[in-house]
């Protein structure tokens, strides 16, 4: 006997993939298109579920040759299969104008009047069948001859999918003439053909999507024969669940060594790695370190407590995976016990002494110890080791930093391996005292000295200064006089003018007093020097330096001028000497000028020819004899010389050499240059003129 159950309207509930107990759901029949169903007596399969439609189809009015689109969405388990009905009957999917997408969308292109009707969406799964609300389609008269710009009614949506799923990129365009729909990627890469299919007039379906399909896809509606186009775009994100590229491997390591696990995973988005130790989250710290985005697990100085199963979990939004590995700690028989009573004692700002006691077990095979050292603030991998002889149970660690905390532990070694690490000891190096300051002293007067100091930039920082002074023959210092860190000068007064004093200054800080800087000051000698040598006037000294420099430059310039003058005089003297010699050579054999033409004015006035230079007489009368005597006297006056003989044709002019030309006076300068004119130069040797020639002497005789 069958029981009648109420018609379910909502999903009762889904928990962890199972439904809450509920009565079986029936299949239904309808009296009209998309009308409320009437129950039948067929029971649906158990184990399915279906929710209500969360997207219902909407009524549409469109023109002939236009485009229409209906959509519905519903969730269920298993995923419902969507189909469409028109006026209570299944839509004819054989008609190319009808496109049914897997997403539950119905597209109708090239609308006709007979496409008008009532549409509804039908969802099927193992839980039963559900019908959506009704939506009507009304197709109006044709206006296909009117030009319409291309318009994209529905463009691609942003999708996030997992690999191997199917992507549906929808593109519905309208216009007149009917636009051509094309697809491209925004990054310019080709879409490809494998797994690509076009549904209807412009929908893109990518089956079995991969990570490389991720990108921005552009739908373009192009007007035929033109470059007019409209575009819409949507982003496709393909995720890949995490998977291991290199899972961790089980390893076995001796105690005291280092164990390293590597776990590499890939996925989209990049997976996050988490480590577990025996099922508990492993927190890094101490001797356990995680690096490279948790892909490397390093365990330093392993012991029996580190032996466990370590799991690597890779997880992202698309899925997760895990892998495990075991760490086995090898413990050899006869290994020494743990060194005990480890102590550290600071000796100086740069040295600490570490001591320990011999292990309690298996000490006969110990070959030595290893002291592990690191700054307490540094990670474990920054530690370093020092080997120690087996007979030595202490070690002084040097070259440390002042005021720094260090951590130490010790291991005993045999030929079989190392012991477990000892307990750690922590000690801080001593602080460093300041370096000695620079000290300068100056006698102010017969009873006062000024001390000036400068802090050193080396070693520790200073908190202040201390000043001491005393008489040299005294044992006790006066002081300390304490000053702040910014005070660098002090005047010591009321001193004995006849004594020598010792002054010293040191810097101090919280770690103690630094070394002192000392100076000795003799009051008597300092005062005597100040009397004999007055204080330096730096301005005058600078001016003196400047004046001395100017004097030196002036001396150099003067010497250079003198050298040029001497050279000028030497070359001038040489030139004048050569000119005088030429004149002597020419006057040693004087010539008689050729007779002038009768109509030459010089013949009427008389002329004196000396090596081609003619002196005009300019005398209006006096006769030729007077002229001759005047010319002869003139020659004797210009070029005097002894009379040891006479030559024919020349009155008193002698043949002997002319006297040397004096350096300071040239006789030629007594003849004005404007009284000379150039005449043709005769032969170099003196010769008698022919009787018929009109020589100068002949002219004078005729006169």
Residues 9-39: pLDDT tens digits?
222 233 233 333 333 343 344 444 565 444 3
Non-local CB neighbours of 52 within 8 Å, separated by 6+ positions: 9, 10, 11, 74, 130
Half-sphere exposure of 314 (CA within 13 A, CB side): 26
Over residues 654-669, the mean pLDDT reads: 42
Over residues 71-84, the mean pLDDT reads: 92
**pLDDT for the residue 314:** 96
Q: Given 330, 360, 378, which residue is the final one in a domain? A: 330
Out of 321-325, 544-548, 671-675, give the one with best mean pLDDT.
321-325
**pLDDT for the residue 311:** 96
215 with 236: CB under 8 angstroms?
yes
Residue 228 has pLDDT above 90, yes or no: no
**pLDDT for the residue 25:** 40
**pLDDT for the residue 38:** 41
Out of 238-252, 427-441, 638-652, give the one with best mean pLDDT.
238-252
pLDDT digits (tens, 9 = 90+) for 356-371: 988 887 778 788 999 9
- In this structure, are 18 and 114 located in the same domain? yes
- CA-closest candidate to residue 658, choices 582, 575, 577: 582
**Distance between CA atoms of residues 368 and 414, nearest Å:** 7
Over residues 60-89, the mean pLDDT reads: 91
- In this structure, are 353 and 373 located in the same domain? yes
- In this structure, are 111 and 10 located in the same domain? yes
Over residues 594-604, the mean pLDDT reads: 42
397 with 374: CB under 8 angstroms?
no
Q: Given 146, 168, 198, which residue is the final one in a domain? A: 146
**pLDDT for the residue 585:** 65
Residue 191 lies in a domain: no
Tell me the pLDDT band of 47, cut-offs 50, 70 and 90.
Answer: low
- CA-closest candidate to residue 206, choices 150, 163, 243: 163
**pLDDT for the residue 260:** 95
Residue 182 lies in a domain: no
142 with 185: CB under 8 angstroms?
no
Residue 265 has pLDDT above 80, yes or no: yes
Non-local CB neighbours of 444 within 8 Å, separated by 6+ positions: 450, 491
Which residues partner with 280 through β-bridges?
277
**pLDDT for the residue 627:** 43
Over residues 684-692, the mean pLDDT reads: 42
- In this structure, are 366 and 475 located in the same domain? no
**Distance between CA atoms of residues 112 and 109, nearest Å:** 9
**pLDDT for the residue 601:** 41
pLDDT digits (tens, 9 = 90+) for 146-171: 778 899 999 999 999 999 999 999 99
| CA 689 from centre of chain | 107
294 with 275: CB under 8 angstroms?
yes
Tell me the pLDDT band of 6, cut-offs 50, 70 and 90.
Answer: very low
**pLDDT for the residue 489:** 92
- In this structure, are 387 and 474 located in the same domain? no
- In this structure, are 347 and 420 located in the same domain? yes
Tell me the pLDDT band of 483, cut-offs 50, 70 and 90.
Answer: very high
- In this structure, are 452 and 351 located in the same domain? no
Half-sphere exposure of 587 (CA within 13 A, CB side): 24
**pLDDT for the residue 364:** 81
- CA-closest candidate to residue 324, choices 336, 334, 335, 313: 313
- In this structure, are 521 and 650 located in the same domain? no
The CATH number of the domain where 264 resides is what?
Answer: 2.60.40.10
- In this structure, are 621 and 679 located in the same domain? yes
Between residues 614 and 124, the one the model is more confident about:
124
DSSP per-residue codes, 610-642: ETTEEEE-----SHHHHHHHHHHHHHHHHS---
pLDDT digits (tens, 9 = 90+) for 185-201: 999 999 988 889 999 88
**pLDDT for the residue 298:** 94
Residue 219 lies in a domain: no
Out of 26-30, 75-79, 638-642, give the one with best mean pLDDT.
75-79
Residue 165 lies in a domain: no
- In this structure, are 452 and 522 located in the same domain? yes
| CA 433 from centre of chain | 39
**pLDDT for the residue 536:** 52
**Distance between CA atoms of residues 693 and 703, nearest Å:** 15
pLDDT digits (tens, 9 = 90+) for 266-277: 999 999 999 999
Count of the separate structural domains present in the chain:
5
| 204 C-beta neighbours (distance < 10 Å), count | 21
User: Which pair of tokens denotes residue 325?
Assistant: 């590995």
Between residues 696 and 68, the one the model is more confident about:
68
Residue 594 lies in a domain: yes
Over residues 113-138, the mean pLDDT reads: 93
Residue 219 has pLDDT above 80, yes or no: yes
304 with 278: CB under 8 angstroms?
no
- In this structure, are 37 and 119 located in the same domain? yes
Residue 122 has pLDDT above 90, yes or no: yes
Residue 181 lies in a domain: no
Residue 324 lies in a domain: yes
Residue 423 has pLDDT above 70, yes or no: yes
Phi, psi for residue 123 in degrees, rounded to 5: -110, 135
Residue 498 has pLDDT above 60, yes or no: yes
Residue 580 lies in a domain: no
pLDDT digits (tens, 9 = 90+) for 307-329: 999 999 999 999 999 999 999 98
311 with 275: CB under 8 angstroms?
yes
- In this structure, are 138 and 5 located in the same domain? yes
Mean pLDDT lowest among 17-26, 228-237, 243-252, 493-502: 17-26
**pLDDT for the residue 345:** 92
Over residues 636-656, the mean pLDDT reads: 44
Residue 552 has pLDDT above 70, yes or no: yes
| 612 C-beta neighbours (distance < 10 Å), count | 15
448 with 388: CB under 8 angstroms?
no
Distance in Å from the first CA to the final CA of the chain: 196
Between residues 40 and 278, the one the model is more confident about:
278
Residue 145 has pLDDT above 80, yes or no: no
654 with 640: CB under 8 angstroms?
no
Q: Which residue is listed with tokens 């001796």?
A: 254
Q: Given 517, 532, 547, which residue is the final one in a domain? A: 532
Mean pLDDT lowest among 204-208, 509-513, 616-620: 616-620
Query: How would you class 584 by CB atoms within 10 Å of its CB: exposed for 0-12, middle for 13-18, buried for 19 or more?
Result: middle
pLDDT digits (tens, 9 = 90+) for 532-543: 555 555 445 555
Query: How would you class 473 by CB atoms within 10 Å of its CB: exposed for 0-12, middle for 13-18, buried for 19 or more?
Result: exposed
Range of the domain at 667: 587-702
pLDDT digits (tens, 9 = 90+) for 392-405: 888 999 998 888 89
How much of the chain exceeds pLDDT 70, in percent? 71
| 443 C-beta neighbours (distance < 10 Å), count | 20
């Amino acid at each position: 006997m069958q029981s009648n159950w109420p018609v379910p309207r909502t999903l009762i509930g889904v928990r962890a993939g199972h439904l809450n107990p509920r009565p079986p759901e029936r299949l239904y029949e309808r009296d009209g298109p998309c009308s409320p169903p009437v129950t039948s007596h067929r029971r649906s399969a158990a184990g399915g579920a279906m929710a209500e439609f969360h997207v219902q189809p909407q009524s549409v009015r469109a023109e002939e040759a236009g485009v229409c689109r209906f959509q519905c969405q519903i969730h269920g388990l298993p995923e419902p299969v969507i189909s469409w009905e028109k006026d209570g009957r299944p839509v004819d999917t054989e008609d190319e104008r009808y496109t049914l997408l897997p997403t539950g969308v119905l597209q109708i292109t090239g609308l006709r009047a007979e496409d008008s009707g009532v549409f509804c969406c039908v969802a099927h799964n193992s839980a039963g069948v559900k019908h959506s609300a009704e939506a009507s389609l009304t197709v109006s008269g044709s206006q296909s001859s009117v030009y319409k710009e291309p318009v994209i009614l529905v463009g691609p949506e942003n999708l996030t999918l997992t690999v191997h799923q199917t992507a549906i990129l929808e593109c519905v365009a309208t216009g007149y003439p009917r636009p051509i729909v094309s697809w491209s990627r925004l990054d310019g890469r080709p879409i490809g053909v494998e797994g690509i299919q076009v549904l209807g007039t412009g929908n893109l379906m990518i089956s079995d999507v991969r990570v490389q399909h991720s990108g921005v896809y552009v739908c373009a509606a192009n007007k035929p024969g033109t470059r007019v186009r409209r575009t819409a775009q949507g982003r496709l994100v393909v995720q890949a669940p995490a998977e291991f590229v290199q899972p961790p491997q089980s390893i076995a390591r001796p105690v005291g060594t280092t164990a390293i696990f590597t776990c590499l995973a890939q996925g989209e988005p990049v997976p996050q790695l988490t480590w577990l130790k025996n099922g508990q989250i492993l927190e890094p710290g101490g001797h356990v370190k995680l690096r490279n985005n948790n892909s490397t697990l390093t365990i330093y100085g392993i012991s029996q407590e580190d032996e466990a199963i370590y799991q690597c979990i890779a997880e992202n939004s698309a899925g997760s995976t895990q892998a495990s590995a075991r760490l086995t700690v090898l413990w050899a028989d006869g290994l020494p016990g743990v060194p005990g009573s480890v102590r550290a004692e600071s000796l100086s700002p740069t040295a600490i002494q570490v001591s320990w006691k011999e292990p309690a077990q298996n000490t006969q095979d110990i070959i030595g110890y290893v002291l592990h050292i690191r700054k307490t603030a540094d990670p474990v991998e920054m530690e370093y080791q020092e080997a120690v002889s087996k007979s030595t149970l202490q070690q002084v660690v040097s070259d440390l930093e002042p005021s720094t905390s260090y951590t130490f532990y010790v291991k005993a070694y045999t030929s079989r391996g190392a012991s477990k690490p000892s307990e750690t000891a922590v000690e801080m190096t001593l602080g460093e005292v300041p370096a000695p300051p620079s000290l300068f002293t100056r006698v102010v007067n017969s009873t006062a000295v000024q001390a000036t100091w400068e802090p050193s930039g080396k070693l520790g920082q200073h908190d202040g200064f201390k000043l001491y002074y005393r008489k040299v023959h005294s044992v006790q210092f006066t002081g300390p006089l304490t000053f702040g860190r910014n005070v660098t000068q002090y005047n010591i007064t009321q001193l004995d003018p006849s004594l020598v004093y010792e002054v010293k200054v040191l810097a101090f800080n919280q770690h103690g007093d630094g070394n002192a800087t000392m100076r000795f000051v003799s009051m008597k000698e300092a005062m005597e020097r100040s009397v004999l040598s007055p204080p330096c006037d730096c301005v005058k000294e600078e001016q003196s330096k400047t004046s001395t420099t100017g004097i030196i430059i002036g001396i150099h310039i003067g010497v250079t001028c003198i050298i040029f003058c001497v050279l000028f005089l030497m070359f001038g003297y040489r030139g004048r000497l050569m000119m005088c010699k030429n004149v002597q050579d020419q006057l040693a054999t004087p010539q008689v000028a050729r007779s002038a033409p009768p109509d030459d004015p010089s013949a009427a006035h008389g002329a004196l020819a000396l090596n081609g230079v003619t002196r005009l007489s300019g005398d209006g009368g006096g006769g030729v004899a007077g002229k001759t005597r005047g010319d002869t006297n003139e020659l004797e006056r210009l070029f005097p010389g002894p009379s040891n003989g006479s030559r024919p044709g020349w009155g008193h002019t002698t043949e002997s050499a002319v006297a040397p030309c004096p350096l300071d006076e040239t006789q030629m300068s007594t003849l004005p240059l404007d009284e000379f004119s150039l005449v043709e130069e005769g032969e170099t040797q003196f010769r008698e003129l022919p009787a018929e020639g009109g020589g100068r002497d002949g002219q004078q005789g005729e006169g």
